[in-house]
Structure 1
Amino acid sequence: MFKGHPKGLMILFFTEMWERFGYYLMLGIFSLYMIEPTSSKFAGLGFTNMFAADIYGTYLALVYLTPFFGGLIADRMIGYRKSILVGGVLMAAGYIGLAIPDSMMAFYISLLLIILGNGMFKPNVSVLLGKLYEKPEFESLKDSGYNIFYMGINIGAFVCNFVAAYLRLTYGWGWAFAAAGIGMLIGVVWFLVGLSRVPEIKEADKISPSRPGDIKLSRLFTVLFLPAFAAAAIGWFIPGTMFGGDSTDAFIFFCVPVLLFFFTTWKTADKKTEREPIAALLAVFGVVIIFWAVFHQNGSALTYWAKNNTSREVSGVTEVVINTIAKTEDVSTLPRDIKVQGLHGEDLGFKEGPNPYFDNYTKEFPKGNLEGKPGDLTQEQWQELTASQKAEGGKLKLWPTELQASINPGFVVFLTPLVVGVFAWLRRRKKEPTTPGKIAWGMLISALSWLVMVVAAITSANGLDKASVAWLFGVYGVITVGELCLSPMGLSLVSKLAPKRIAALMMGGWFLSTAIGNKLSGVLSGLWDLFEKKSYFFLTNAILTAGAFLIIVIIMPWLKRVYNEYVD
């Protein structure tokens, strides 16, 4: 897989793989941990659905906002290697801090450490990868290099959820969070070993020289950082809310000075060599905000769908496989009006009647299943279950909700060689789309993916019946193809078009667009309970993504001209 690529790719591949192992392990159980009742054997935080979605969206937004600052620090002060190491240690400390029980202070401080650490780590490992491909013999392989790198991200993201499910169901939440920290520390050690064995990584790590007229980093704290934090404070403390919540107001206010800074960067750039590439990148950043707003609902809205509206029963071969890699959740079925608790004491509401298919999240009994056999159980399963009810109360085994978070990275690992192969085949025939063209295709495919969930919602009576898990595989399978055309290509586009002196800063701009989209994902997911018909919720995502696709199609001729002029 690494043949023909720079040797440093393998080092950065596994460094990012372990970093993403920790990041997605934490993210896979984050919402579940927040909504888990405090009365459970392995107690959670007991947050409401809407408050958890707000925290989730704010956390994701800040995780992808701080790379803007981390890029500046790496560009102007300490370089990429030191930034990656500092970021890795901070994130490891944050994950381990989440393992501290019964402390809201530890919870929020740990999130802050992860946010700051990601800001130092994320943009700089991506920029360092791009710099490895600046030699002429590697330049044509940059897109495929980023695809391979992206596969490393998703290997970690795929494996971590099985580890998380086993640890949190067997030993509790703290052990799962601690495993994320250990994974990050393994990544740091691997990177240190790589630095001693692959000199080209050190050669690629050169702090970008400043030019006359550039704002010094010391001044940025007074002209950018302080105004941004002051604006955030205003957004937080203003009476009432303007955008649906105090955290959303604060985030939007914070982004205004940052966006003005990028506008000033474009305005003062050299007209002949820098202004148009920066403008093209800023345009792409603006469009992909919508992609991230709908894509990152996998940790909130789609998690709710998997937990509440998806048939998670395991039996037969599936039960053997699941039991091998992770414990299942046993949900007892008890007589009418008896309060039901899960395996670890979680409050599952009140059982109404003999049907075991109650909704264990909203605590509402699914309409249409009040009498007789549920539609997604066979007659034999129903008879066996009702017989066991009479004998010993009966049990229904469910696979852990967080395992659904491994579907997407699993598809990434499986499909990346296929996507890279297709683009290589097109390149040999001189028909490969440009990097902006791949991003456009990614947006279109992503819009189509949400139609899968529209059909899923309609066929399951908008969530009143339990839907097949096949629908989750369907939506993740389609959106993964779009993701592979968009996300790694965005990283590649920044590394190609960004002026070298501000490469990490513009990479931070890519992550800033991700941050804004992530915050919007929390806002959209917070509306989940307001949509009685879930098909309308998923259709809204499809329409938003289709609108972003149309915008990028309109500006595509200009993007191609800029790309061909400044890259080729």
Structure 2
Amino acid sequence: MLQSRPNETDFFKSNVLGHPSGLFVLFFTEMWERFSYYGMRALLVLFLTSSILGDNAGWGWPRENALAIYGSYTSLAYLTPILGGYVADRIIGYRWAVIVGALLMTLGHLSMAFEFNPIFMYLGLCLLVLGNGFFKPNMTSIVAQIYEKHPEKKDGAYTIFYMGVNAGAFLGMLLCGYIGESPDWGWSYGFGLAGIFMLLGMLQFYFTQNIFGNVGLKPTYDGDQVKPINETPEEAKKNPFSTFDLTVISIIAIIGLTWIINDPMSKITDINLFNFSISGISGNTLSICIALVLFIFILIKRILQYTTVLRDKMIAVIVLAFITIFFWASFEQAGGSMTIFAKDYTARILEGNAKIGFNIANTLITVVPLIIITFVLFKLFQQTFKKYAIGNTILLSSFIIVWGLVIFMLKAQYADVQAEVPATWFGILNALFIISCAPLVSKIWESKYNPPATFKYGIGMILLGIGFAVLAYGASSIPQGAKTASVSMMWLVFAYFFHTMGELFISPVGLSYVSKLVPGRMIAIMFGIWYLAIAIGNKLAGTMGGMIDEITAQYSMSTFFMLFTFIPIALGIFIMMLTPLLKKLMHGVH
């Protein structure tokens, strides 16, 4: 595939903070998309589990049911990018894929704003999953194309882009969470606010897209040749998928997708697509085991067809992907069981000096990042406002709304005699700690102390486990089977800190090693396997989190969190012990 490129000299003339202005158009588009995604995610489980009575009534679902649908939603959100990336690469181009994805997500959030009707809620989740599939992979593809011939600037570009991701997550959870949890507003306004900013992000991108020149337009083809970029002639032997391979993969995909959808559907309705058993084994368990066996079979079959060196590198990727499954299964408790813990088991009502301290801290961590982002906006306006007035005006309107909501929120918090910290507030700590700590971790990776992949993964998993150990200790005073409690909020703050440090050691590293270990022509399929691992982890997060009531009733809340302590720490030690083996399998890749 050959795609035309912009005049790069002209493209890099207009710059902001040393980078092309176009990067910051992507920065703000991605920021508003992450605003909407994390804003909605922060509310979903809380809304589903909130009582059907009261000032801000929810659906009153059991926690297991709510976490089942949460797990399926986040899991599918990591599977659809495989399809969305293919459609963009082959048919419509990256830019139109971003616009289509943003439009679908806007409609999804709008649908969820009618939360009183289950049909609109489920339709909204489906549209969000499909829209995410078009949007997520193609934003990063545009960044990659912009810097294709400027690799020396690529690390800095992705760092800036990643800051946009976390700025959006921070503001989305803060404002959608506050509006959605407030009885004066309610869930519909929280879901609707996410949709408003997704719409504004889409319009800003649409009216400013000419800044990218020809980058991201509909692809043109010169045959079907893909130039290998990092493999030897011996490794370049192609092994196309046979009809048998594709048939097995199709069967796995059908079973897997059906299982993901059936899990919450069987809990919240009378419909169960796997309502049978064979030799005492339930159809639900049997089906996913069959899919797993077939997946392992086709994976081994494919790996054995490659040269020894390439086979070794692919095995190394698969080992890291296996650890990734358990990382996300634990880390994604943030939107599930940890959100429930924040809502029902944490002392969130502050008075006196505690209230004053929280108000000051909350003001600083809200206003200071927003001032910095507004400064970036001002620098972008200096370069692009005259040429792209409509897109920039839409972006300016977005910031006016954000500043208005922030001032309204802070004013209301200062006016109240008591400060009730929203349960969704704790979610912003992840983004806050990333923004604060990412530069330090990045410096370590660039220094002589840069550890091998296995130690990065091992340390990351251990830090993740320590975060849950903190929660387990903090929850030790909660009686067995208790539905509510009031433990110190500091346990959640410490837990999020350790989880974020674990994420910085693992999340940005994984895709980097995929790109280093496999040749260019295989990047897409290995990224697909990587996203599949993340999707499985997200689904496991919902399934395991859904056991919170059962484990708490039979044992204790501490026992529930200790499970997420021992498993990551054990896997972290295990992967570090594999260092000599994986070093050999990587054949010199550091």
Query: Which TM-score tier does this pair reach, normalised by the shorter chain?
Result: 0.7 to 0.9
Letter in 1 for 2:345: N
Mapping 1:29-68, distance limit 5 Å: 29-68=43-82
In the alignment, is residue 526 of structure 1 matched against residue 546 of structure 2? Answer: yes
Determine the structure 2 residue equivalent to 1:152.
164
Stretch of structure 1 that moved more, 197-206 or 525-534: 197-206
* 1:440-494 CA-partner distances (Å, limit 9, x unpaired): 3322222222221122123566777521111111011111111111111123223
Q: Secondary structure at the residue paired with 1:44?
A: coil
Please give the per-residue CA displacement for 1:35-71, whole angstroms capped at 9, x wherever unaligned.
1233334432221112112111222222222233334
Change (3 A) 1:56 1:231: closer
Counterpart of 2:231 in structure 1 is: none
**Which one of the candidate residues 499, 503, 507 is aligned to 1:479?**
499
SS in 1 for 2:536: helix
Q: What's 1:165 paired with?
A: 177
Query: Alpha-carbon deviation of 1:553?
Result: 1.6
Would you say the 8 A contact 1:127–1:507 is kept in 2? no
Deviation at 1:23, TM superposition (A): 0.6
1:447 maps to what in 2?
465
CA–CA distance in 1 between the matches of 2:142 and 2:257?
31
The RMSD of aligned alpha carbons is 3.9
Give TM-score, length-normalised by structure 1: 0.75
Q: Which moved more, 1:54-63 or 1:179-188?
A: 179-188
Picking from 27, 30, 33, the partner of 1:16 is 30
In structure 2, the residue matched to 1:295 is: 331
- What displacement does 1:325 show? 8.4
| Contact 2:48/2:61 (<8 A) preserved | yes
Amino acid at match of 1:507: F
- Displacement of 1:76 in angstroms is 4.5
Task: Describe the superposition over 1:487-516 as per-residue Cα deviations: whole angstroms up to 9, x where unpaired.
Answer: 111232233334323433322322211111
Amino acid paired to 2:325: I
Alignment of 1:493-508 (within 5 A): 493-508=513-528
| Secondary structure, aligned partner of 1:66 | helix
1:97 corresponds to which of 100, 111, 117: 111
Map residues 231-270 of structure 1 onto 2, 5 A cutoff: 233=258, 237-239=273-275, 262-263=299-300, 265-268=302-305, 270=306
| Cα distance in 1 between the residues matched to 2:93 and 2:284 | 32
Q: What's the offset of the Cα at 1:313? A: 0.9
Q: Within 5 Å, give how 1:367-406 maps onto structure 2.
A: 398-406=420-428
Say if 1:127 and 1:495, in contact at 8 Å, map to a contact too: no
Kept in 1, the 8 Å contact 2:245–2:298? The answer is no
Match of 1:368 in 2: none
Shift of 1:184: 2.1
Q: Given that residues 22 and 211 in structure 2 are in contact (C-alpha distance below 8 angstroms), is that contact kept between their aligned partners in structure 1?
A: no
Match for residue 576 of structure 2? 553
Q: For structure 1, which segment, 228-237 or 97-106, has the greater mean C-alpha deviation from structure 2 after superposition?
A: 228-237
- Structure 1 position 438, deviation (Å): 2.8
Q: Is the 8 A contact 2:91 2:219 kept in 1?
A: no
Indicate yes or no: 2:437 matched with 1:419. Answer: no
**1:429-440 counterparts in 2 under 5 A?**
430-435=448-453, 437-440=455-458
Equivalent residues of 1:35, 1:48 under 8 A apart:
yes
Q: Measure, in 1, the Cα distance between the counterparts of 2:293 and 2:134.
A: 22
> 2:158 and 2:198 mapped to 1: Cα distance?
21
- Map residues 530-549 of structure 1 onto 2, 5 A cutoff: 530-531=551-552, 532-549=555-572
How many Å separate the matches in 1 of 2:175 and 2:277? 40
The separation in 1 between residues aligned to 2:362 and 2:245, in whole angstroms, is: 49
User: 2:454 touches 2:578 (CA, 8 Å); kept in 1?
Assistant: no
**In structure 2, the residue corresponding to 1:468 is in which secondary structure?**
coil
Q: Could you tell me how far 1:405 is from its partner in structure 2?
A: 1.4
2:509 to 484, 489, 493: 489
Q: Deviation digits for residues 166-225 of structure 1, max 9, x if unmatched?
A: 322232211211211222233333444564213484499888846975459x99986634
Matched residue SS, 1:40:
coil
Q: CA deviation at 1:125?
A: 3.0
Secondary structure of the corresponding residue to residue 53 of structure 2: coil
Does structure 2 retain, via aligned residues, the 8 Å contact 1:38–1:45?
A: yes
CA contact (8 A) 1:130 1:492 kept: no
For normalisation by structure 2, the TM-score amounts to: 0.72
Structure 1 position 322, deviation (Å): 5.5
Kindly tell me: are residues 66 and 185 of structure 1, through their superposed partners in 2, closer, same or farther at Cα, counting changes over 3 Å?
A: same
Map 1:171-210 → 2, pairs under 5 A = 171-192=185-206, 195-199=209-213, 201-202=215-216, 209=225
Matched, 1:315 2:351: yes
2:465 aligned partner, one-letter code: A
Counterpart of 1:17, as a letter, is M
- Quick one: which of 253, 257, 271 aligns to 1:228? 253
Aligned to 2:382: none
Q: Does the 8 Å CA contact 1:294/1:521 hold for their aligned counterparts? A: yes
Q: Is the 8 A contact 2:94 2:217 kept in 1?
A: no
Once the 2 structures are TM-superposed, how far is the Cα of residue 271 of structure 1 from its aligned partner? 2.1
- Which residue type is aligned with residue 428 of structure 2? S
Q: What's 2:307 paired with?
A: 271
- Please give the alpha-carbon distance, in whole angstroms, between the structure 2 residues aligned to 1:244 and 1:525: 23
Structure 1 residues 97 and 284: CA distance shift in structure 2, 3 A: same
Aligned partner of 1:239: which letter? N
Q: Does 1:121 align with 2:135?
A: yes
For structure 2, list consecutive stretches of 5 or more residues without a partner in the other structure: 1-14, 228-237, 263-271, 364-416
Q: Letter of the aligned partner of 2:438 in structure 1?
A: T
| Structure 1 stretches lacking a partner, 5+ long | 327-394
Q: What is the one-letter code of the residue matched to 1:18?
A: W
**Residue number in structure 1 paired with 2:120:** 106
Relative distance call for 1:64 and 1:104 in structure 2 (3 A) is: same
Match for 1:475: what amino acid?
Answer: A
Give the counterpart letter for 2:54 in structure 1. Answer: S
The AA in structure 1 aligned to 2:520 is K
> Is the 2:108–2:128 contact (alpha carbons within 8 Å) kept by the matching residues of 1?
yes
Report the CA distance shift for 1:547/1:324 in structure 2 as closer, same or farther (over 3 A).
closer
Tell me if the contact between 1:437 and 1:556 (Cα under 8 Å) persists in the aligned partners: yes
Cα distance, 1:517 vs. partner? 0.8
2:29–2:202 contact (8 Å) kept in structure 1: yes
The answer to whether the 8 A contact 1:233-1:250 is kept is: no
Q: Please tell me whether the aligned partners of residues 100 and 134 of structure 2 are also in contact (alpha carbons under 8 angstroms).
A: yes
Distance 1:9 1:255 in 2: 40
Show the counterpart of 1:73: 87
Larger mean CA deviation between 228-237 and 157-166 belongs to: 228-237
Q: Which residue of structure 1 lines up, in the alignment, with residue 411 of structure 2?
A: none
Cα deviation, residue 417, structure 1 = 2.4
2:533 & 2:539 partners in 1: Cα distance? 10
